[in-house]
Amino acid sequence: MTLKLDNLAIYNKNSAGKRPLLEVNVEIKAGEVVSIMGPSGSGKSSLLNAIAGQLREPFKQTGCIYLNTALIDDLPPYKRKIGVLYQDPLLFEHMNVGENIAFAMVQNKQIAASQRQTRIAAMLESVGLADMATRPVHSLSGGQQARVALLRTLAASPSAVLLDEPFSKLDINTRGQMRKWVFEQLLKRQLPTLMVTHDKQDAIAAGGRIIELPPC
């Protein structure tokens, strides 16, 4: 699977002039992480919103977004098969750990109901969170919640992943471990990934190309 942004440009309709906030041309191969770095306000979050199908007023986009050869620009967010991981885990507080992951599995409909619990237990075990399926999410540490958040994103079987400052809220030790672990998981699944970050160390750890946006 590849994620291709073909002259994807984001405009702020309220800004004077016709210059886009940013314009990106990139083809991200299976298992590759491309990092986008740029100053605050350069449009990084808006770019991820556009790819996920969540771009809102006052922004508009031109150009094309492809998954392999399929144009996904006109699909609603839930049909795009794009997984997003944010700097906050955004787990559902009223559900336990296992239910958070099961929620994503139910949505993707690829895993039979009878297999969900076994699959969830295996996923949790693989990230050092065995036997935590019934724990309330608020009882987990920040690093543990971050792991569950990635498992939930992956449980939806995305075809590509977007990372929005994924490590910025973690303490320095957890951040190092999470970087290693997240990039291993994405590589293992051969997912094309686009990461937005302020942190050069994140981009270096990702090991792929780095796109530096000009000052706005």
Ligand X SMILES: Nc1ncnc2c1ncn2[C@@H]1O[C@H](COP(=O)(O)OP(=O)(O)OP(=O)(O)O)[C@@H](O)[C@H]1O
For residue 215, give every residue at least 6 positions away whose Cβ sits within 8 Å of its Cβ, in sequence order, or none. Answer: 39, 42
124-163: which residues touch ligand X (CB under 6 A)? Answer: none
Asked whether position 76 contacts ligand X by CB under 6 A, the answer is: no
Tell me whether residue 37 or residue 105 sits nearer to ligand X (CB atom): 37
Asked whether position 2 contacts ligand X by CB under 6 A, the answer is: no
Asked whether position 36 contacts ligand X by CB under 6 A, the answer is: no
Tell me whether residue 60 or residue 188 sits nearer to ligand X (CB atom): 60
How is 151-209 classified by DSSP, letter by letter? HHHHHT--SEEEEESTTTTS-HHHHHHHHHHHHHHHHHTT--EEEE-S-HHHHHHH-S-
Q: What are the C-alpha distances in Å from 177 to residues 6, 98, 144, 181, 205?
A: 34, 22, 11, 6, 11
The answer to whether 91 and 152 are in contact (CB under 8 A) is yes
Figure out which of the listed residues 2, 12, 54, 174 binds ligand X, where binding follows CB under 6 A. 12
Identify how many contiguous H helices and E strands the chain contains and give both numbers: 6, 9
Asked whether position 4 contacts ligand X by CB under 6 A, the answer is: no
Binding part of the chain for ligand X, among 40-48, 60-68, 95-103, 203-211 by CB under 6 A, reads 40-48
Asked whether position 197 contacts ligand X by CB under 6 A, the answer is: no
Figure out which of the listed residues 4, 8, 37, 46 binds ligand X, where binding follows CB under 6 A. 46
Tell me whether residue 131 or residue 214 sits nearer to ligand X (CB atom): 214
Binding part of the chain for ligand X, among 39-47, 93-101, 107-115, 166-174 by CB under 6 A, reads 39-47
Go through 167-197 and write b for each residue having 16 or more CB atoms within 10 A of its CB, e for each that does not: beebeeebbeebbebbbebbbeeebbbbbbb
CB of 156 to ligand X, least distance (A): 23
Q: Applying CB under 6 A, which residues contact ligand X?
A: 12, 14, 21, 38, 40-46, 58
